[in-house]
Chains A and B, each alone.
Chain A
C-alpha cells in the first residue's frame, strides 16, 4: 500500500536523475564508439561545467537583481558550455591524439592523468568548499499522478530530452552525423571516402563536452550546490549507464541513463523496507555498480548493444 503510494514520486525522481545520467553517458558512448577509449576525464568535464557556470552565476547575481533568474542561469550555462567545449577539444588534441597508436592501457592511464589534472586545477581555482547555487529559479510545483514535480525537475527533463533529440537528428540526418557514423564503423574506410577522421573525432569530443557541461549545471541546480569532487562519481554512474545501454550506441546511452536513474531511485526508496532496515538509502551509490556487474555478466553487449556484438 505504502509502496504503491510512493511509486510515482520515485519514478519522477528517477526520471530526472536518469536524464542527467543520459546526457553525460552520451559523451562516453560517442567517444567510445569512435576511438574505443574510455574518456575518464569526462566526469571531470561535467564538474568543470558546473563550477564555471556557478562562478558566472554568483558573479552576476551579486551585481544586480533586475535580470530574471533564468536569464542569469542561461548565461552561466552558455559560458560553461563554451569553456567545456574548449576543454574537450584541447584534451583530445594534447593528450589522446598522440596516443592513438599506443597500447590501450597507455591511453587509459593518460585519461586518468587528465582527470587528476582537472580536479587539481579546480581545487586551485575554487578550493574544496562547495559553492551554493543561488535561489534565483522559480520554485513552482506541479502535481502529476500522485507525484510532485518541481519546475526545475521539469526543466531538467525537458531540456535533456530536447538535447537528446537534437543530437539524434544531428547524428542521423546531417552530413557530419553521417561522417561520425562512418568513422565509428571504420576510420580507414571513412578516410578513403574523403572524411577527415581527426576532424570528426574533435567534433565528437566537443559535442560530448557540451552535453556534459549542461548536465553539470543541471546537477548543480538540482543539488543546490557543486564542489570539485562531484565529477568522479557522476562520471562513473554515467559510464555505467552507457554500458547498460550498450556502449557505442547513442540510443542505448539515453535508455541506459534513464533506466539507471529509475533503478537507483527505486532502490534507494525501497531498500530499507526490503532488508528490514539493515541496509538504508545511503547505499544508493552501490546500485549503479551492482547493475553494472549484472549487465556485464548476463548481457555484456548492453540493452541495445548490437554495436559491440558486431565488434567482438
Chain B
C-alpha cells in the first residue's frame, strides 16, 4: 500500500547521508540554488514565478507553524488561518494610511507574533479538554468567527474597513530602501518580489531552525508524549495544560509572522484571503508532506503551491474557456488528497517516529484480521 519508489529514494538518500563529502556537495548545491533561485526562476519562467516563489516561502512558514500544533502536539487545528489573519491585520492596521499610523516592520512583526500567540492561547484555553475531532470543529468555528468579525467591523466604528479590506500597506524598509521598489543590483534590475524573496528566505531559515530545535527539545518531547498518550504524559509529570497552550501559542506566532509578511508583501489584505479553504490548504501541506517532519512539511508546502500553478497553466489550453479552470484544479486537488490518504496515510515524507508507528500498527492489524472489523482507531 505504499509507494515503493519514494521509499527506495529515501533509502538511497539515507545511504548517501553516510558519505560526508557527498553531503557537503549536496548542501553547497542547495545553498547555491536557494541563493540564486529568484534569478534562475525569473529568467527561465518569467517574473510571475518569482512571486510564486515568495508565496512558497510564506506557506513554508505557515505550514511549519501549523506543524507544531498538528504534527508535534497532535492537536488538529482547522482554523489556523485565523492567526495568519490576525498577524496580517495587525500589520495592516498599524502600517497603512487607514489610521495613518506607520510603525516600522521590526516593531510590528515581533509584536504581531505576540498578538497572534495571545489569540492562540485564547483559542487554546477553552478547548484544552476536547478530543481530536471536537477540537477540529471548534478551531474551525474560531477561524470563521475571526473572519466574520473582520468582514463586519466596519460599522458603526470603522476598524477593519470591512469587506473592502486594507489598502496601501507599507512595504518593509531596510534603512531607506523599500523592498517593494525596483532596485538595480550589479546591472540586474530587481522588482519587489526578488528582494522579498531574500527576506522570506531568511525568516524561513530562522523558523526552520526553531522548528528543528523544538522537535528535539524537552518541550518537543513533551508534545510528542501528549500526542501519543495524554494520560501517560501527565503521569510522567508533564504539565499537559501549559504544554498544550504553548503549542497553540508557538504555532500561532508563526502564523502571525507569516501574516505580517503577507500584508506588507501584498500591500493589500481583505477578509477574503482568510477563508476556511486557506486553513485546509495549509493543513493539507502538513499532512501530505508528512506530519511532524520538517522536511516533509516543506515538501508539502512547495508541492501545494507549485502544482496548482502548473495545473492552472496546463488546464486552460486543454479544456478551453468553457470550463472553469479553478474548478478543475480543485477537483484534482481533492482527488489527490483522498488518494494520498488512502495509499500513503503517513504523508509523502513521514517522520521516522510516525513511520514506525504506522508500521507497527500494520503489524498489529495484520494479526487482527480475524476480527471482523474495527471502526475505532
Residues on A facing B (Cβ under 8 Å): 34-36, 38, 95, 98-110, 112-117, 119-121, 123-124, 127-128, 187-188, 191-192, 197-198, 232, 236, 239-240, 243, 277-280, 282-283, 285-286, 288-290, 292-293, 296-297, 300
Is A292 touching B137 in the complex (CB atoms < 8 A)?
Answer: yes
A100 to B284, CA, bound (A): 20
Is A35 touching B284 in the complex (CB atoms < 8 A)?
Answer: no
Q: Hey, which chain A residues are within 8 Å of B149, CB to CB?
A: 286
- Please judge, given known A-B contacts A102-B377, A106-B345, A109-B341, whether A286 and B327 are in contact too, CB under 8 Å: no
Is B342 touching A110 in the complex (CB atoms < 8 A)?
Answer: yes
Is A236 touching B337 in the complex (CB atoms < 8 A)?
Answer: no
Q: How far is the CB of B145 from chain A (nearest CB, A)?
A: 5
A114 to B330, CA, bound (A): 11
- Please judge, given known A-B contacts A95-B342, A113-B338, A120-B328, whether A289 and B375 are in contact too, CB under 8 Å: no
The number of A-B residue pairs with CB atoms under 8 Å apart is 163
Q: How far is the CB of B351 from chain A (nearest CB, A)?
A: 13
A-B contact pairs, 17 of them (CB 8 A): A100-B373, A103-B361, A108-B136, A109-B284, A112-B283, A113-B333, A113-B337, A113-B338, A117-B331, A120-B328, A121-B331, A197-B372, A232-B276, A286-B145, A286-B149, A288-B141, A300-B130
A296 to B132, CA, bound (A): 12
A239 to B141, CA, bound (A): 11
Q: For window 335-377 of chain B, which residues contact chain A by CB distance below 8 Å?
A: 335-338, 341-342, 345, 358, 361, 365, 371-377
Given contacts A110-B338, A232-B276, 9 further A-B contacts (CB under 8 A): A99-B341, A103-B358, A108-B76, A114-B338, A123-B330, A188-B374, A289-B145, A297-B126, A300-B129
- Chain B contact-residue range equals 35 or more
A197 to B376, CA, bound (A): 13
Q: How far is the CB of A195 from chain B (nearest CB, A)?
A: 10
Query: Interface digits, B131-158 against A, CB 8 Å rule (1 contact, 0 not)?
Result: 0111011101110110011001001110
A197 to B371, CA, bound (A): 12
- Please judge, given known A-B contacts A105-B76, A109-B287, whether A116 and B334 are in contact too, CB under 8 Å: yes
Is A110 touching B337 in the complex (CB atoms < 8 A)?
Answer: yes
Q: Hey, which chain B residues are within 8 Å of A103, CB to CB?
A: 345, 358, 361, 377
Is A116 touching B129 in the complex (CB atoms < 8 A)?
Answer: no
Is B287 touching A124 in the complex (CB atoms < 8 A)?
Answer: no
Q: For window 262-318 of chain B, which residues contact chain A by CB distance below 8 Å?
A: 276, 280, 283-284, 287, 291
